[in-house]
A = this chain, B = another copy of it.
Amino acid sequence: MPASDPARTPPPFHAVIFVSQRTPGDNGYGDESARMVAMVREQPGFIGMESVRGADGKGITVAFFDSEDAIREWGRVAEHRQAQASGRANWYENYQLYYSRVERVRSWEKRSE
C-alpha cells in the first residue's frame, strides 16, 4: 500500500507523535530505522509520516494512520516490537508518545513567481 500525503487527507485521521532523544553513536539505529520505515509503509491504514532529527539527537516523528485499529495492528507487528525493545536498550535516552486525532489540516506553499 503506497503512502499518501497526510496534508491532502480529509480529517479525521490519527497521528502518533513520537518525540525522542537519541543516545550517542549509531549502534545499528540507521539500518533498523530504515527497515521500520519500509515496513510501516506497507502497513494497512498507514497514511504517511514526517520525521526530523536535530544535530543534538532530539527527534520528532509524526506517523499518520487512518484508524486506531491500524495503530494497534502496527503495535503488534513482531519486528516492530523487537525494534522498540532495541530502542529502549540501545538507541534512546528517553521518548514521549502522543496518540492524537487530527481534526483539521491546513497547508501552504510558496508560489513560484
Interface residues of A (CB under 8 A from B): 6-7, 15, 17, 19, 50-55, 58-60, 62, 88, 92-110
Q: How many copies does the complex hold?
A: 2
Chain A interface main SS type: strand
C-alpha gap A108/B94 in the complex (Å):
5
Residues of B within 8 A of A104 (CB): 97-99
Take A52-B54, A101-B100 as given contacts and tell me if A94 and B110 are in contact as well, using a CB distance cutoff of 8 Å. Answer: yes
CB-nearest residue of chain B relative to A57? B52
The 8 closest A-B pairs by CB, nearest first: A100-B100, A99-B104, A94-B109, A7-B96, A60-B60, A96-B107, A97-B106, A52-B54
